């Protein structure tokens, strides 16, 4: 269901979508059964003239079973959910698959800095590639990231990868992802970080091998144009951005669509 | 058991009470009913402020950059301040005072059959501290730099370093207000537990206590047991802000994660602290309006104990991606999903109570039933978020926001309206207008769903929280998503407009409504045996209790209710 709203672009995003669907099915059945019973009771036992309510204490074993059976079902469903959840969680957060590349992600008020370890795979050497608000990665290669926060807590969030991780001041938090689909996507800060929290966006571009080389060459010879800036400019502006000149508000647009 | 349950104050009959002066009756009362009113009206005023904030920031989200009617242009700092204080106000200054303090104070002595709280002056002090805390919070909006805007969770270092949050005094006053509020509720909590345990009417055994009193007691015990670490944390945070300690600052060897643990160790039980009173209110209402005995009184009570106990070991599910050891997350997934079991059992028992009933859809019943419906959605969506792997995607997204509004809105707002419409005749001696109440119900319940159901889908689309303008996120700045935001905001405005009907009905009925009989709903509990409104000292003669609170439609009796204090030989 999530992939209907957001592209799935990393090796584990499918697992999270599957877990979401699994829980939706399990919970959905339980939810609609409960809701159905609830609505049926409301309708069936509405007040009628001359009909007195029954006296049921719910303390006898014979009566209690009606809440106990659903209750055991909930336990069984919980066990299934816990089991699948732990499988997915261990895969995403508890294990680090062998890396092809290493990057450092630094959050600070209110921008993102990315340092790619470059060909030698070691950070803080001369071949590092540093970019601001623009992350360039190669498709189908495993990336390890070291997440740091300079000032306050930030959250490195890439919705298309189904990845969110807090960066804690004073710590370096390790994680990984493996992009599987080329394109340019949003990076968000998903933890309140102050006045400019709303503008702390960045762009991640998943490249093929060739386009990656090209971009790195551009960065080195100074002809590089920020994908983040380009992307913000190229999108259709929100109605609000033009609201001062354009009299038709988005509310009016919504009404026009409905009627 | 019955020995210890007798009232300890025996010589305080109503005729001993003298007419009090205005000052001592309304401003400095020791009467639990008047203190309850003070809490309720303070809470309602704060609810108006919190509701206004939600209107302003939802308007900003729907029409970013445009001037909001009644407010003006919303800047990022103001937006953050309103989001932060909307959360703080709605939980600490609306849910807590109205559900726990107002209805706890009003109902516990009346339902337990005693003349007042055990410590009436402590009770008065607790309200006064609460009032000060509310004033400090309101004052914090107007200091230089504006009110605190670092989210209601106040994670350091953002909340401690003025250079980071840009609200030097706003942040300090905010934490001070929260700490004062905790002190006030600690005092109130002691009173609740002592009164309910020691001052019950003769004959009221543990299993005869109305569920709402039990749940209020469990709630304040949970509160008192969990708030200690946070008060300590609040003092540490305040010292970090004002005298340069570094409990939570890595630069001085501290750790921001410590605050998260202290905060959520309190923050999660707090959910059940506000949930349980509403659950109790709903139990009273559904039994009365379906003329049914509560299905499995003991089961419901024990599930509340289980929920309360478990709520102390689930806190880190707020921190799955906060940099805690990922192995620890597995433990908290198990405890978090375990808590769904007693809560589900409790909901099943409530639904089972309807079976075989004679349900009358009066307004309080509509509120109670809609609570069960909305809380069911809030509960099941919690399962998604309890699963740590999904939190990797949903952390701090609108899915979380929609989920907890589907729990907190039913708890706070629906629970509050259920309680007000049900006990209004007792509190003010007059009936509310039923037609207006029903219009208000549908005008609140339908827009409520229209606000928050779409937000689940925004969360699925990856929209993250506390962003004042999504145009900086091209994937989120699409027309479709913007339409959803506009729809949610429109629903909010409609819902807020319908509250005008409630206010009119509330104040009109208070003075001009139809006179209420002592027991308009034909309920069993003791508060309905005294005149509406009850006089100072409550009971003319302290009652004796003969049976539990839910003896409705007992076979062999002509009338379908059996008040707790009616001697068994009478019919």
pLDDT in tens, A52-88: 889 998 888 888 888 888 889 989 999 999 999 999 9
Q: Among residues A44, A70, A94, which one ends one of the domains?
A: A94
Asked whether the predicted pLDDT for residue B558 surpasses 70, the reply is yes
Q: Are residues A108 and A231 in the same domain?
A: yes
Structural domains of chain B, ranges and CATH numbers in brackets: 30-529 (1.20.210.10)
Contacts of B375 (CB under 8 A, 6+ apart): B347, B406, B407, B410, B411
Q: Are residues A27 and A146 in the same domain?
A: no
A254 found inside a domain? no
Q: Say whether A197 and B338 touch across the interface (CB within 8 A).
A: no
Tokens coding B386:
């309890």
Q: How far apart are CA B151 and CA B166, in angstroms?
A: 13
CATH number at residue A198: 2.60.40.420
Mean pLDDT lowest among A179-188, B28-37, B151-160, B562-571: B562-571
Q: Which residues of A touch B263 (CB under 8 A)?
A: none
Cis peptide before B157 (omega within 30 of 0): yes
Mean pLDDT of chain B: 92
A191 found inside a domain? yes
Q: Are residues A120 and A227 in the same domain?
A: yes
Q: Are A209 and B26 in contact (CB under 8 A)?
A: no
Q: Are residues A105 and A90 in the same domain?
A: no
CA atoms within 13 A on the CB side of A187: 27
For residue A21, what pLDDT band results from cuts at 50, 70 and 90? Answer: very high
Tokens coding B311:
């709520």
A257 found inside a domain? no
Residue A217 C-alpha, separation from nearest chain B C-alpha, in angstroms: 26
Is B544 buried (19+), middle (13-18) or exposed (0-12) by CB count in 10 A? middle
Q: Say whether B383 and A81 touch across the interface (CB within 8 A).
A: yes
- Which among B376, B393, B472 has the least Cβ separation from residue A198? B472
Shortest CA distance from A59: residue in chain B = B296
Nearest to residue B58, comparing CAs of B473, B478, B439, B454?
Answer: B454
- Which among A162, A186, A199 has the least Cβ separation from residue B392? A162
Q: Are residues A229 and A168 in the same domain?
A: yes
Q: Among residues A35, A60, A94, which one ends one of the domains?
A: A94
Residue B376 C-alpha, separation from nearest chain A C-alpha, in angstroms: 8
Cα-Cα-Cα-Cα torsion B439, B444, B447, B450, nearest 10 degrees, comes to: -130
Q: Are residues A48 and A129 in the same domain?
A: no
Q: Say whether A92 and B560 touch across the interface (CB within 8 A).
A: no
User: Which residues share a beta bridge with A137?
Assistant: A206
Task: Annotate B442-477 with DSSP letters as a single string.
Answer: HHHHHHHHHHHHHHHHHHHTTPBSS-S-GGG-TTT-
CATH number at residue A20: 1.10.287
| Residue found under tokens 């704060």 | B46
Instruction: Give Cα B67 to chain centroid, integer Å.
Output: 33
- Which among A85, A93, A198 has the least Cβ separation from residue B76? A198
> For A95-121, what is each residue's pLDDT tens digit?
999 999 999 999 998 899 999 998 888
The total domain count for chain A is: 2
> For B319-329, what is each residue's pLDDT tens digit?
999 988 999 99
Tokens coding B481:
């998503």
Asked whether the predicted pLDDT for residue A239 surpasses 50, the reply is no
**pLDDT at res. A190:** 93
- Which among A51, A67, A167 has the least Cβ separation from residue B345? A67
CA atoms within 13 A on the CB side of B508: 11
Shortest CA distance from A198: residue in chain B = B467
DSSP code of B120? H
Nearest to residue A257, comparing CAs of B452, B59, B482?
Answer: B482
- Which among A38, A57, A198 has the least Cβ separation from residue B469? A198
Q: Among residues A46, A72, A94, which one ends one of the domains?
A: A94
A250 found inside a domain? no
Residue A216: phi and psi, rounded to 5, are -65, -40
| Residue found under tokens 């939190």 | B391
Burial A69-105 (b: 16+ CB within 10 A, else e): ebbeebeebbeebbebbbebbbebbeeeeebebbbbb
Instruction: Please check whether residue A120 touches B, CB under 8 A.
Output: no
A12 found inside a domain? yes
**pLDDT at res. A247:** 45
User: Which residues share a beta bridge with A101?
Assistant: A143
Q: Say whether A74 and B340 touch across the interface (CB within 8 A).
A: yes
Task: Annotate A108-176 with DSSP letters as a single string.
Answer: ETTEEEEEE-TTTT-SSSTT-EEEESEEEEETT--EEEEEEESSS-EEEEEGGGTEEEEE-BT--EEEE
For residues B23-49, give the mean pLDDT: 92
Q: Are residues A177 and A222 in the same domain?
A: yes
* First vs last C-alpha separation in chain A: 29
Helices and strands (H and E) in chain A: how many: 6, 10
Tokens coding B569:
């030989």
For residues B69-93, give the mean pLDDT: 93
Q: Say whether B360 and A5 touch across the interface (CB within 8 A).
A: no
For residue A51, what pLDDT band results from cuts at 50, 70 and 90? Answer: confident
Instruction: Give Cα B66 to chain centroid, integer Å.
Output: 33
Q: B269 or A66: whose pLDDT is higher?
A: B269
Asked whether the predicted pLDDT for residue A253 surpasses 90, the reply is no
Tokens coding B135:
């004033």
Cβ neighbour number for residue B556 with a 10 Å cutoff: 6
**pLDDT at res. B6:** 40
Q: Are B147 and B163 in contact (CB under 8 A)?
A: no
Q: What is the 3-state secondary structure (H, E, C) of B302-329?
A: HHHHHHHHHHHHCHHHHCCCCCCCHHHH
Distances (CA, A) of B364 to B310, B415, B420, B446, B507: 30, 10, 8, 16, 18
Q: How far apart are CA A163 and CA A185, in angstroms?
A: 13
> For B115-131, what is each residue's pLDDT tens digit?
999 999 999 999 999 99
Q: How far apart are CA B349 and CA B280, in angstroms?
A: 13
**pLDDT at res. A207:** 93
Q: Which helix (H) or strand (E) holds B507?
A: helix B479-512
Q: Say whether B470 and A237 touch across the interface (CB within 8 A).
A: no
A117 found inside a domain? yes
> For B417-429, what is each residue's pLDDT tens digit?
999 999 999 999 9
Q: Can you give the residue range of the structural domain that contains A44? A: 2-94
Mean pLDDT of chain A: 87
Q: Say whether A240 and B297 touch across the interface (CB within 8 A).
A: no
A87 found inside a domain? yes
Share of chain A above pLDDT 70, in %: 90
- Which among B157, B358, B466 has the least Cβ separation from residue A52? B358
Q: Say whether B468 and A198 touch across the interface (CB within 8 A).
A: yes
For residues B302-309, give the mean pLDDT: 94
A244 found inside a domain? no
Nearest to residue A214, comparing CAs of A158, A138, A160, A117?
Answer: A138
Q: Are residues A112 and A55 in the same domain?
A: no
Instruction: Please check whether residue A231 touches B, CB under 8 A.
Output: yes
Q: Are A205 and A231 in contact (CB under 8 A)?
A: no
Q: Are residues A8 and A134 in the same domain?
A: no
For residues B341-345, give the mean pLDDT: 92
Q: Are residues A233 and A105 in the same domain?
A: yes
> For B142-198, what is each residue's pLDDT tens digit?
998 889 999 999 999 999 999 999 999 999 999 999 999 999 999 999 999 999 999
Q: Which residues of B touch A93 (CB under 8 A)?
A: 321, 326, 329, 388-389, 392
For residue B7, what pLDDT band results from cuts at 50, 70 and 90? Answer: very low
Q: Say whether B256 and A168 touch across the interface (CB within 8 A).
A: yes
Residue B92 C-alpha, separation from nearest chain A C-alpha, in angstroms: 20
3-class SS of residue A216? helix
Q: Are residues A33 and A154 in the same domain?
A: no
Q: What is the 3-state secondary structure (H, E, C) of B529-550?
A: HCCCCCCCCCCCCCCCCCCCCC
Q: How far apart are CA A92 and CA A164, in angstroms?
A: 11
Asked whether the predicted pLDDT for residue A246 surpasses 70, the reply is no
Tokens coding A227:
């994908």
**pLDDT at res. A243:** 42
Q: How far apart are CA B211 and CA B209, in angstroms?
A: 6
- Which among A82, A163, A201 has the least Cβ separation from residue B472? A201
Cis peptide before B533 (omega within 30 of 0): yes
Task: Annotate B198-247 with DSSP letters as a single string.
Answer: HSPPTT--GGGS-HHHHHHHHHHHHHHHHHHHHHHHHHHHHHHHHT---S
Residue A10 C-alpha, separation from nearest chain B C-alpha, in angstroms: 12
Q: Say whether B486 and A254 touch across the interface (CB within 8 A).
A: yes
Q: Are residues A118 and A178 in the same domain?
A: yes
**pLDDT at res. A245:** 40
């Amino acid at each position: 269901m999530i992939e209907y709203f957001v592209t799935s672009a990393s090796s584990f995003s499918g697992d999270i979508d599957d877990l979401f669907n699994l829980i939706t099915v399990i919970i959905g059945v339980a939810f609609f059964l409960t809701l159905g019973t609830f609505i049926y009771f409301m309708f069936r036992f509405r007040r009628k003239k001359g009909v007195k309510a029954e006296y049921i204490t719910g303390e006898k074993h014979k009566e209690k079973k009606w809440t106990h059976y659903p209750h055991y079902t909930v336990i069984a469903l919980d066990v299934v959910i816990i089991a699948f959840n732990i499988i997915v969680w261990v895969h995403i957060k508890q294990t680090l698959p062998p890396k092809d590349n290493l990057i450092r992600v630094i959050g600070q008020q209110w921008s993102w800095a990315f340092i790619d370890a470059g060909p030698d795979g070691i950070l803080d050497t001369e071949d590092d590639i540093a970019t601001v608000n623009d992350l360039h990665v190669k498709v189908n290669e495993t990336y390890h990231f070291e997440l740091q926060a300079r000032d306050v807590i930030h959250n490195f969030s890439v919705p298309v990868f189904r990845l969110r991780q807090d960066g804690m001041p004073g710590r370096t938090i390790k994680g990984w992802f493996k992009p599987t689909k080329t394109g340019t996507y949003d990076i968000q800060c998903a933890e309140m970080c102050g006045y400019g929290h709303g503008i702390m966006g960045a762009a991640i571009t998943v490249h093929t091998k060739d386009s990656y080389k090209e971009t790195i060459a551009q960065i080195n010879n100074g002809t590089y144009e920020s994908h983040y800036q380009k992307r913000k400019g190229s999108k259709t502006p929100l109605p609000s951005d033009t609201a001062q000149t354009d009299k038709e508000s988005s509310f009016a647009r919504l009404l026009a669509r409905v009627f | 058991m019955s020995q210890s349950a007798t009232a300890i104050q025996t010589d305080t009959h109503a005729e001993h009470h003298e007419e009090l002066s205005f000052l001592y009756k309304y401003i400095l009362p020791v009467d639990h009913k008047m203190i309850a009113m003070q809490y309720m009206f303070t809470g309602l005023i704060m609810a108006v402020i919190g509701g206004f904030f939600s209107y302003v920031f939802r308007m900003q989200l729907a029409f970013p950059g445009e001037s909001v009617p009644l407010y003006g242009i919303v800047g990022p700092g103001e937006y953050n301040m309103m989001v932060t204080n909307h959360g703080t106000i709605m939980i600490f200054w609306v849910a807590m005072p109205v559900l726990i303090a107002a209805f706890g104070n009003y109902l516990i002595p009346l339902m337990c059959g005693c003349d007042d709280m055990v410590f009436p002056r402590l009770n008065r002090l607790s309200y006064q501290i609460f009032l000060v805390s509310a004033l400090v919070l309101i004052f914090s909006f107007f200091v230089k730099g504006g009110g605190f805007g670092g989210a209601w969770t106040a994670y350091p270092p953002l909340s401690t370093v003025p250079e980071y949050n840009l609200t030097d005094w706003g942040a300090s006053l905010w934490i001070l207000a929260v700490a004062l509020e905790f002190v006030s509720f600690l005092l109130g909590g002691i009173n609740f537990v002592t009164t309910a345990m020691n001052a019950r009417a003769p004959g009221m055994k543990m299993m005869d206590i109305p569920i709402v009193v039990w749940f209020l007691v469990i709630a304040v015990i949970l509160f008192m047991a969990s708030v200690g670490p946070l008060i300590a944390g609040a003092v540490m945070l305040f010292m970090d802000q004002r005298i340069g300690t570094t409990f939570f600052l890595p630069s001085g060897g501290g750790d921001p994660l410590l605050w998260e643990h202290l905060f959520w160790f309190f923050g999660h039980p707090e959910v059940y602290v506000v949930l349980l009173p509403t659950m109790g209110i709903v139990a009273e209402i559904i039994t009365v309006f379906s003329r049914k005995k509560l299905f499995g009184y003991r089961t419901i009570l024990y599930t509340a104990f289980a929920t309360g106990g478990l709520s102390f070991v689930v806190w880190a599910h707020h921190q799955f991606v906060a940099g805690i050891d990922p192995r620890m997350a597995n433990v908290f997934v198990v405890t978090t999903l375990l808590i769904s079991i007693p809560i589900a059992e409790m909901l099943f028992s409530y639904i089972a109570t309807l079976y075989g009933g004679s349900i009358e859809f009066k307004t309080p019943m509509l509120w109670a039933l809609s609570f069960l419906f909305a809380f069911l959605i809030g509960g099941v969506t919690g399962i998604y978020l309890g699963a740590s792997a999904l939190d990797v995607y949903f952390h701090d997204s609108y899915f979380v926001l929609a989920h907890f509004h589907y729990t907190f809105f039913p708890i706070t707002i629906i629970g509050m309206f259920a309680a007000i419409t049900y006990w209004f005749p007792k509190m003010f001696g007059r009936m509310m207008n039923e037609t207006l109440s029903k219009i208000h119900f549908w005008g609140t319940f339908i827009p409520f769903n229209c606000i928050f159901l779409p937000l689940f889908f925004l969360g699925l689309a990856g929209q993250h929280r506390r962003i004042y303008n999504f145009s900086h996120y091209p994937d989120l700045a699409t027309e479709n998503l913007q339409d959803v935001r506009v729809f949610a905001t429109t629903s909010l405005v409609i819902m807020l407009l319908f509250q005008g009907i409630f206010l009119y009905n509330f104040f009109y009925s208070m003075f001009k409504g139809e006179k209420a009989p002592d027991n308009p709903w034909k309920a069993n509990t003791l508060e309905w045996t005294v005149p509406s409104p009850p006089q100072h000292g409550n009971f003319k003669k302290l009652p004796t209790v003969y049976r539990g609170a839910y003896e409705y439609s007992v076979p062999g009796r002509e009338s379908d209710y059996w008040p707790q204090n009616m001697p068994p030989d009478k019919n």
